[in-house]
Structure 1
Amino acid sequence: MSKRRRVILVCAALCALLLLFSATILPKIVRNRAVEAIQKATGRTTRLESVSINPLTLTVSLRGFAMDERGGGSFVSIGALRASLSPASIYRRALVLSRAQIDKPVITITRNRPNSYNFSDILQRLQAHKKPETKGETRFSINNITVNGGSIDFNDRAVEGGKKHTVRNLEIGIPFISNIPYLVEKYTAPRISALVNGAPFSFAGKMKPLSKSMETSVRVDLKRLDLPQFVAYSPQKPAATLASGWLSIDTDVKYRVFSDKKPELVVSGVARLDDTAIQMTNGQPLMKLPLLEIKASQLEFFARLFRFSSIRVDGLELFVSRDKGRKWMFERLLTAEKRGDERKAAATKTAAKTGPVHPSLQISSLSLANSTVHYSDATATGGFKGALSRINLTMRNIDTALDKSAEYELTLLVDQDASLNSKGSFSLTPLSLKSSTALKGLKLQRGWPYLAQQLTAPVKGTLDLSADLAFSKEQGLTADNGSLALRQLSTRYGNGDGLNLVLFSVNGASYRQKENSLEMEEVRLSKGSISVSRESDGALSPLSLIRKRGTTAAAGQRTQAAPRKPQPAPRPFSYRLRRFQTDRLNLAFTDKSREEKPRFTLRNTAFSLADLSGPKFTPAQLRCSTTYGTNSPIRVRGSITPLPFRFRGTVRVGRLPITDFEDYFPDSLNLSVLEGYLDSTLGLDITLKNGKPYGTFRGNAGVRSFHSVDAEAEEDLLKWESLQLDQFQGRLEPFSLSIRQIALNGVYSRVIVRKDGTLNLQNLVRKPAPVETAGQTTVAVSKQAPKAKHQISIGAVTIQDGTIAFSDHHLRQQFTSTFHNLGGRVSGMSSDDSKFADVDLRGNLENRSPLQITGTINPLRDDLFVDLTISFKDIELSPVTPYSGTYLGYSVERGKLFLDLKYHIEQKQLRSENRIFIDQFTFGNRVESQKATKLPVRLGLALLQDRKGEIHLDVPVTGRTDDPQFSIWRLVFQVLKNLLVKAATSPFALLSSMFGDGADLSTIQFSQGASALSQNEEQKLGALAKALADRPALKMELKGYVDREKDAEGYRKELLARKIANERALSLAKQRKSEDMTSALNAAMQPEEYSRYLKAVYRKEKFPKPRTMFGLVKDLPDEEMKKLIIANTAVGNQDLQSLAQERSAAVMAYLVKQGVAQERLFLKKDNIHKSPEKSGQSRSRVELNAITQ
């Protein structure tokens, strides 16, 4: 055998031995050494059933590998592992495996606590025995890597309740992994598939895992991954629970790293969530999402470019709620992120350096279909629940690129009743919107739980709302073609009041945020009723709809807000309403502050305002047509400016019942209006300045069918057929008024004296009760400038067919009289001091006695001017028997009264002439009456009546009208009363004033002891005789009186005088013839004659006389003789009686001589020594007493 042969044989034998060693002995050595090494490195019990080595194929196979947990139990097991070494390793000078296969690997991973796993101890041991890294790079190439039938169990004990995740049927295929330069830049196409928690998962693609570019392109496919199992891995405990949710992903992911620019991460594909349900921790549902599908066409995360072909949401249900603490459920979902501010600060710094990069978002189609939002709010009174259902939203071509427009369409239902439809377009960059939106059928009463905190009653109705909306950064929000309709709007307030409207609408509305302006074509209120009351406290009933809020403890404890940066003043809001209109509207107002609670109604009200604008108001055209009550039309037409207020237009009122407004008459007015209707046409131009009205007015006004009664006795007081004011006009400030004519037709007034003696007119105006104030202090008030004089003119005042009825019920026999046919005219009334109105008024008492008043007056100037003549003739006096019987005690048998009166008032000075003529006034039978006067009324009548049966009285009256007690008729009646009392009580004083020039005719005085009349007394008797001749019904009683002392002395002197006269008569008789006796006796007595006749008388006296020494009667001086005669003349009571009778006889004789019939004169005896009633009168007198019987 050759040497070569031997070498070959030796080599073959060595190879055989080597093969035999590798196949039989080496696997055992490897198995044992590997188990020992693994156990030493990991500290775990490791088992390896077998190791097989095929030196021919350079393949190593391991079977039955198992590693236990530290406390027992399986950790890792591998059914089989095969690795084949490629011969290329020699010339590649690298580890090249042609195949690496793992079959049925089973791994059990347990997480005990955060960052602590069942293999953490192995990592710690390996880290402790870590060998220094060798220099240089170990090149390798592992090809045909496969994992078959893999299984992973992950037990997570670190989360609450523990979690277990499984990976089954794990299949992995990787063509190669290599860092050999020529292979690094080649793509490898890995694939992975498994069941992750039962969800099919697949992963496939191509990549350069060890290339510097790190190019990767993979496809990930995940089917229905159960997501709730992963909620436990949230960094913080979530406030909500993911009850269900299945994630499916079918995406392509591309990743590249560049040395000179940012890496690229591009994702495309489909992501889908199915049957997702989220609940609050208390089990309350939060969201249900049957389907969310996102189709991404290109998502470049690092370039911030996001393009979606579609996003579809179907059947979404959101459950929104708020608790009684006013806390939204979303607030409980928010978690505090500790590093949120840090991230934000870092992002701000980065943006400052590199500039902000806005993401680019494109969504070709976004749809939300069949979705619902459930809403629940416990803060609302009684709670509130609602829902937005059938939400369908589609958006197309969403793009954040500049000026890219997207379209959208939204429809939904509100509580299954109302619908919302919106359609339009929008742009994200810049932000803008154009939309046509309409809301229909929204029930207002659904909002009552919220309004219950502010309102006391629900508001019902159906709301329709639509508008074309737009928004842009430059123009802000704009709205066009806006319309609002509230149908069947109703609410209740107060006690029985409310609002009911068939339709409240706004049409043609447009709003401009930039200009802060609002325009509306029309606001309309149609068909309905509104009732309002003024409550007893003065508040209007609609205010009761607003609930009063009580004060809270926190009131006034508000935290002071930080000072805000001053903002530019916003543009003032402006508006314009082209037309405001109501039609067929019924209004009612009840005034409960009044005792009778009057109610006022307006029916079929049509009201319109045109061109109302602000804040700078311009005149708006006003139209109003309505019917007050049942048949009172009201029409208003003109223009109105709210601020400053001005109204210019006309107001027409027809048959407005005055009785409806009786509660607003002054409380001091004591009458009731039973009927009366106002007709008026007014032209007004009124403005308000500082709350005071200014302007002008004009028009016509009339009151028809007026009827009023006394409020106490309910008896007729005043009524008329019509009171008309024609063509009046005037100004409010300074006030002026001009009336062409005032016409009063068919007026009737009733004047009644009640049983208590008061007039029904007396208390028409109640006097206010005096208010007593203690400690009043007089305060000086500065004089104000005199007000401008009111200018007033009235062309004519006419009265037709007037009637005044007078009744006196306080008499035992009632008295009634009526004044008929009252009419006339007053023309030219004016407040001008130089103008006077002509007066011509006429009428008839009981259709017989005519009354006429003529003259001129000016009642409108500052001081009253009157120049009137009143003629009242042929007044029958017999009907006044109830008065004469009651107060005089006699009926009136007959008589007539005539009055001629003149009154002149100027500069507050009254001068009047009252001529009264009573013809043939005759008393009838006596009437018993406790009120009858005790005065001799017949005597008074006799004193006043002349021989013709006439009484003529002229009663002048003067006075000052500025006297607080001034009253014309009070003065006249006072004068007449004084005259009648004087006639009855002091008839001679009356006769003296009428016939005796003021002398006292009731007493005729005599000299002491004389019975002869003096010349002065004869003149008085002459005047009395004249009065008796003119008063044939008057008779006289004469009574003589004496003075006990003075008349006795005087009577002695009178007797002496008579004796001297007798002596003279005897002497003359002896000397002359009888025919010359009268003239001789009437001749004056000379002193020597008186002395001679006195001596003769003295000698004849029988009393002792002084004598001479011779016994003869001694001659004495006249005075001595006179004294002796008087001293020795005896005068007794009989002599005084005779003197009194002589005096009465002397008076009677003189009256008879003056033509008074003696049968009208009667001598009457009395105590002759009676003192006179009047002081200062002489006791030597004859008293006369007037009698009628």
Structure 2
Amino acid sequence: MALRLPKLTPVVACLLALSAVMGGYSWLAGAVVPGLVVGQLSHWNAAHPELQVSVRRVRFHPFQIKLSLGQVAVTAAADTVPQRLSVDKITLNLGAVDSLLGRRLTLAEVRIVAPRLEITDQVSALAAAFSSPEKSSKPVALHVDHLALEQGSLSYRPAGSDATRLQWQAIRLQLDGYAGDSGKPARVQWESAGDQGEKLLAQASFIPSPFSLDVDLQGDDLALPVLWRRWVPLPALALQRGKASWQTPIHYHQTDGLSIGPGNLTLHDIALNDSERNAPLLQAPRIALHGVKLDVQRRRFEIDAVSADKAALAAWLTSDGALNYSRYFSPAAADEGNAAPAWHYRLGKLALSNGELRLHDESRPDGLQLLLAPLALHLESLTNEARMVRYHSGPSRKMAASDVPAFHGSLDSRVDGRGQLALQLAAGAEPGSLALDIQAGQIDLTGLNGYLQSIARLKLVRGELDLAGRLEYQSQAGPSLRFNGEATVRDWTLNRRDDDVAMLKWRRLDVKGLRLAYPDVAVHVGEIIADQPYARIAIEADQSFNWSNLSVANAQLTPALTPEAHSPSALTPAQSSRAILPGPPRASANSGSLSDSAPRRLLLPADLSRGESEARGRGNKVAAALPINIDVLRIRDGVADFADHTLQPDFSTTIYHLEGAIKNLSSIRRTHADLLLEGLVDQYAPVRVQGQLNPFRAGAYSDIEMSFHNMDLTRLSPYSGKFAGYRIDKGKLSLDLHYHLEQRQLKAENQFTMDHLTLGERVVSKNATALPIGLAIALLRDASGKIDIHLPISGNLDDPQFSLRDLYAQAFTGLITKLVTSPFTVLGNLLEGDAEEYGRVAFTPGEATLSPYQAEKLTKLAEALQQRSGLTLEIRGMADPERDRPALTEARLQAQLRHLWQDEQRAQGKQPSADGMALPLAEADYRRLLLAQYTESGLGATKDQELAHRALLDKFAVDDRELRVLAQQRAERIREFLIKNGGVAEPRVYLLDVEVEARPGQELEVTLLLNGS
């Protein structure tokens, strides 16, 4: 019997059919979908070997339309370390109705549990795999109602075995309302925490098409060194430590581009080093940035405010003189053809407090080191973006527009713990201009010793600088700088490095009205006041000038001091003839010439100013290139030490209380400064220097008068001992000197006045002159004990043998030589006529009687001797046998005849009168008596008068003894006249041994000699 099934009702049939369909769907979907997923992954892995995807468990819930993937792993191959993404579980819940009705893929919920992403510096491999090009297909519209990512983690490890790993954990992401084609915004929330306590929070909304994004991003304590090493392309800088916290909005739109901010960023515990030296560059406990804004499309970067406290910054000059920061930021070569538009930046305010800045010049072993701390820096409106600023322009004073960055700032700091530095910087009123106001006080200058020693063998022991002024910068018509201000240098002490002897000091040096300019280089100073300055000037034992020896640059000039380079004198015969008492051009070595004795000539300042012609040319070019004007230089209570170490013992003297001024100092050609200085030599002797000069143009022009009064001559004993052979026991000296230098031609007038000069003990010196110094002094010294000498000299500074010492030695040697060879010449102003005539007294042959003319000469000579009390007179009587012998014989014969006549008169009872005795005999008496004497003499009888006269002359001939007596009588007569008639003291007149000798062709004269007492 056939089994007949009951007839199903339509409802039951439908239910059964539905059950069968559902069962088949459930079986089919549960079995087929996972297989399809696995198959598609196998196909993917085969087509993409660089990116391998694996799923350990796949489940599909057909009635919930939910796909679950367990243990998902994605691995991207890399050269060294693979990039991995693994997920414990992914659940996709399909919104079937919405997908079918809306013709789009709708995911009601997506849940991702415990995703773990491990990446390195080669993360680009993973990105490239996901971005591999596929065949173009129409994109599927996707809606995600809700997506949740939980328990996520991110691990990033830069390249290098010792690199620090960056890990983020507890990542939570929530996405709501994503509709790819609706144009409605989706909302995203992100939370994460790092293994070092970092936190990252984000709330965002975005629209997929056209894509736009708005994010509110907040982070705390993000470690920066790992990110610095990977993403900052500055290998010369190493960020040792540092953390960042921030809060900022981010906006992106396809048309507007990316913009960030305004937001706030705080950096903590920053330590930035120089990688090569591992030296600290920047250390800051906290740096806060407020109002940070970045607009990529408009290329603008703005920060409203930056503040930092206790930041420490270091900077140095490298061995090649470059600033260390110049090598950190090496700009890429510009492609002029494709140059991108410039970025605009703006910093509203920068405030640094309690900071420090260390500066070190390492270009030299002992370079300058400075510490600015505590440092406060404030800057406002720092920008490269032009702003419209209105200002007055032109004579019409119309308002004009100009783009000027409105910028200003200030800096306040101590310098090396003592000095003070304050700067005020502001944009000027005109385009491209800046103004910097500077206030500096108590800045220690001893740090400059490293630079000083490269140019001079000197060291700065003390010195502080005060500076106040304004530095202005203009760029409209080319870069230009101008400075106006004043400076003070206090307690300056500059010592010689070798022996630590003070060379230059002052208590205070004020520079007022200082103006500097560039590129039109010029220096103008209103007033310089040197308070209590001190300078040491000396001639060293090798006859060099002490300051020239201190110059490192002039060290090569020392060969100029060799004996072969110079001769003792530079005077030409014409120059020598201009001396008041011209002597020979130069004395021989045997005569003790002052100039010949020195093996090397002395380089005085005048010689140094001459220098080599090339050096002078360079100096004049510098003077022309650098105009210098100083209105007035004042000296108050100055002191100058002078020493001459070429002498034994050394000569030294000091000028005290030096006061005065030099006005209108200028390097401009044909300008002359007015000089007036006064002081005291050794506290008591006044000194005065006045005139005109141009110190910036050596040898161009000087007209200087110097006067020294009442200086103790004993100070000059070292000089007198060396050159004169005597020390000075007593005396005062006054000098009036006039130096005129023009076109390097020197003319000098020197007036020396010595009062009561008294020579002391004799000194053995190989340089001493053999000339009679005592006689020269006696000839020059008047009755009051004064000696006045006028001594002109001249020379050319370009003469290779020019030397002031040689010129003076030449002139003095010529003077003394003339004195001792023509002593009466020096008395010329006391005598009338030819002074040399007073050294000779003429006599009639055979007589010792002074004629009225000779007596008048002796009277005037006696008066002159009264004015030269130090002189003695020596008389050398003389007789000439050729002329005096006949005269004496004739006189004896005449005397005998007169005696015979007197006898006759007495025999006749007549007494001859005195007048009669003086009258010549009558011719008849003379003849009668002559013939009688001839007979009485036993010569016979004769009537020939001439014969008798000749015979009697032979009879009465005078011998040499009688000639000596005549010479003595003549000397005695002169002495007697000077003493009795002239009033000359008897001890001052000496009789020398007489001379009896023939002097044919010469006057019959007794010689008078002058000598010193």
Identify whether the pair has TM-score above 0.5, normalized to the shorter chain. Answer: yes
2:116 equivalent in structure 1 = 317
Letter in 1 for 2:506: W
Q: 1:769 to 1:744 in 2, by over 3 A?
A: closer
1:587 and 2:374 aligned: no
What residue in structure 2 maps to residue 19 of structure 1? none
AA of the residue aligned to 1:366? L
1:390-410 CA-partner distances (Å, limit 9, x unpaired): 222222111222532111122
CA contact (8 A) 2:91 2:112 kept: yes
Cα 1:998–1:535 change in 2 (3 A) is farther
Q: How far off its partner does 1:387 sit?
A: 3.1
Deviations 1:60-114 (A, max 9, x none): xxxxxxxxxxxxxxxxxxxxxxxx9x9x9xxxxxxxxx9xxxxxxxxxxxxxxxx
Partner amino acid, structure 1, of 2:439? R
2:217 counterpart residue number: 437
The equivalent residue for 1:991 is: 826
> Which position in structure 1 is the counterpart of 2:909?
none
Does residue 316 of structure 2 align to residue 533 of structure 1?
A: yes
Secondary structure of the 2:554 match is coil
Q: Is the 8 A contact 2:718 2:727 kept in 1?
A: yes
Q: State yes or no: 1:1035 paired with 2:872.
A: yes
1:391 aligns with 2:171: yes
CA distance in 1 between counterparts of 2:324 and 2:959 reads 106
Q: Which residue of 1 aligns with 2:451?
A: 664
How far 1:512 moved relative to its partner?
2.4
Contact residue 641 and residue 647 of structure 1 kept, 8 A: yes
Partner of 1:455: 236
| In 2: Cα distance, 1:682 partner to 1:477 partner | 46
Find the aligned partners of 2:547 and 2:474 in 1 and give their Cα distance.
Answer: 39
Q: Tell me the equivalent position of 1:578.
A: 348
Q: Indicate which of 275, 289, 294 corresponds to 2:87.
A: 289
Deviation at 1:591? 2.0
Deviation at 1:292, TM superposition (A): 0.8
Cα displacement (A) at 1:632: 0.9
Which residue of structure 1 lines up, in the alignment, with residue 377 of structure 2? Answer: 607
The unaligned stretches of length 5 or more in structure 2 are 387-403, 560-612, 903-911, 935-941
Instruction: Tell me which amino acid in the other structure corresponds to 2:27.
Output: F
Q: Which residue of 1 aligns with 2:392?
A: none
Q: 2:16, 2:852 → 1: CA distance?
A: 180
- Alpha carbons 2:659, 2:678 under 8 Å: kept: yes
TM-score under structure 2 normalisation? Answer: 0.71
Kept in 2, the 8 Å contact 1:455–1:547? The answer is: no
Q: Pick closer, same or farther for the CA change 1:233–1:667 going to 2, 3 Å.
A: closer
Q: 1:937 and 2:790 equivalent?
A: no
What is the CA–CA distance in structure 1 between the aligned matches of 2:875 and 2:518, rounded to whole Å? Answer: 76
1:230 to 1:940, Cα distance in 2 relative to 1, 3 A: closer
Q: Within 5 Å, which residues of 2 pair with 1:847-866?
A: 847-852=683-688
Query: Are 2:254 and 1:490 equivalent residues in the alignment?
Result: no
The AA in structure 1 aligned to 2:783 is R
Structure 1 residues 419-568: aligned runs within 5 Å: 419-447=199-227, 450=230, 454-455=235-236, 457-493=238-274, 494=277, 496-541=279-324
Query: 1:708: which partner in 2?
Result: 494
Are residues 1:245 and 2:44 paired? no
> Conserved in 1, the CA contact under 8 Å of 2:753 and 2:789?
yes
> Aligned equivalents of 2:662 and 2:714: distance in 1?
33
For 1:924 and 1:671, how far apart are their aligned partners in 2? 40
Measured against aligned partners, the alpha-carbon deviations of 1:1138-1163 in whole angstroms (never above 9, x if no partner) come to: 99989988987997787766654545
2:785 is the counterpart of 1:949? yes
Deviations 1:237-270 (A, max 9, x none): 8456666511111347xxxxxxxxxxxxxxx922
Q: Deviations over 1:399-445 (max 9, x none)?
A: 22253211112223345443322212111111111111233322223
1:996-1007 to 2 correspondences below 5 Å: none
The one-letter amino acid paired with 2:500 is E
Deviation readout 1:594-614 (Å, 9 max, x if unpaired) = 343432111111122221221
Q: Which amino acid aligns with 1:506?
A: L
SS at match of 2:190: strand
1:257-296 CA distance string (max 9 Å, x none)? xxxxxxxxxxx92211012245679997833211111122
> Contact between 1:370 and 1:391, CA under 8 Å: does it hold in 2?
yes
Q: Which residues of 2 match residues 969-988 of structure 1 at below 5 A?
A: 973=808, 977-978=812-813, 981-982=816-817, 986=821, 988=823
CA contact 2:873–2:1008 (8 Å) conserved in 1: yes
Which of 638, 655, 668 is the equivalent residue of 2:425?
638
Q: Which moved more, 1:728-737 or 1:414-423?
A: 728-737
Q: Which residue of structure 2 lines up, in the alignment, with residue 273 of structure 1? A: 69
Contact 2:964 2:995 in 1 (8 A): no
Whole-angstrom distance in 2 between the partners of 1:1019 and 1:1034: 20
Q: 1:804 to 1:303 in 2, by over 3 A?
A: same
Report deviation, 1:746.
3.0
Q: 8 Å contact 1:1169–1:1179 — kept in the other structure?
A: no
**Do the aligned residues in 2 keep the contact of 1:575 with 1:614 (CA within 8 Å)?**
yes
Q: Deviations over 1:1-40 (max 9, x none)?
A: xxxxxxxxxxxxxxxxxxxxxxxxxxxxxxxxxxxxxxxx
The residue matched to 1:1032 in structure 2 has which SS? Answer: coil
Q: CA deviation at 1:452?
A: 10
The 1:1180/1:288 distance shift into structure 2, 3 A limit, reads: farther
Which has the larger share of helix?
A: 2
Question: Max radius of gyration: which structure?
Answer: 1
CA distance change for structure 1 residues 399 and 1014 in 2, over 3 Å: closer, same or farther?
farther
Question: d(CA) in 2 for partners of 1:463 and 1:1010?
Answer: 132
TM-aligned CA deviation for residue 718 of structure 1: 2.8
Deviation at 1:936, TM superposition (A): 3.2
Instruction: Give, in angstroms, the shift of residue 860 of structure 1.
Output: 8.7
Cα displacement string for residues 863-904 of structure 1 (whole angstroms, at most 9, x for unaligned residues): 988777655433333455455455544443332223445667
CA distance in 2, matches of 1:661, 1:474: 59
Distance 1:601 1:786 in 2: 36
Aligned to 1:94: none
Report if the CA contact (8 A) 1:220-1:250 is conserved.
no
Corresponding residue SS for 1:763: helix
Q: For 2:844 and 2:273, how far apart are their aligned partners in 1?
A: 107
TM-score, normalised via structure 1 length: 0.62
Q: Report if aligned partners of 2:461, 2:493 keep a CA contact under 8 Å in 1.
A: yes
Q: 1:315: how far off?
A: 0.6
For the structure 1 residues 1020 and 610, does the alpha-carbon distance in structure 2 shift closer, same or farther, using more than 3 Å as the test?
A: farther
Contact 2:643 2:653 in 1 (8 A): yes
Residue aligning to 1:596? 366
**2:183 is the counterpart of 1:403:** yes
Match of 2:440 among 653, 661, 674: 653
Compared CA separation, residues 312 and 224, structure 1 to 2 (3 A): farther
The one-character-per-residue Cα deviations of 1:691-740 (angstroms, maximum 9, x if unpaired) are 87443513x32222222222332122232222223455565565666655
Alignment counterpart, residue 409 of structure 2, candidates 600, 615, 622: 622
Greater RCO between the two (CA within 8 Å, min separation 6)? 2
Q: Is the 8 A contact 1:901 1:913 kept in 2?
A: yes
Equivalent residues in 2 for 1:120-199 (5 A)? 190=21
> Is 1:917 aligned with 2:732?
no
Percent sequence identity over aligned pairs: 22
Gaps of 5+ in 1: 1-55, 60-83, 89-97, 99-143, 145-172, 176-186, 194-200, 205-217, 253-267, 348-356, 550-555, 557-563, 1082-1088, 1101-1110, 1172-1176
User: What RMSD in Å do the two structures reach over aligned CA positions?
Assistant: 6.0
Q: What is the CA deviation profile of residues 1016-1052 of structure 1, one whole-angstrom value per residue up to 9, with x for unaligned ones?
A: 999998886665443232235566899xxxx9xxx65
Change (3 A) 1:683 1:990: farther
**Alignment CA distance shift 1:987-1:595 (3 Å):** farther
- Say whether the 8 Å CA contact 2:239–2:273 is kept in structure 1: yes
Are 2:175 and 1:369 equivalent residues in the alignment? no
Q: Give the AA of the match of 2:773.
A: V
SS in 2 for 1:768: helix
CA deviation profile, 1:613-645 (whole Å, cap 9, x unmatched): 215562521211111111211111132589997
Shift of 1:317: 1.4
Q: CA 1:224–1:231 in structure 2 vs 1: closer, same or farther (change >3 Å)?
A: closer
**2:817 match: secondary structure:** helix
For residues 694 and 309 of structure 1, the distance between their equivalents in structure 2, rounded to whole angstroms, comes to 72
Change (3 A) 1:273 1:1142: farther
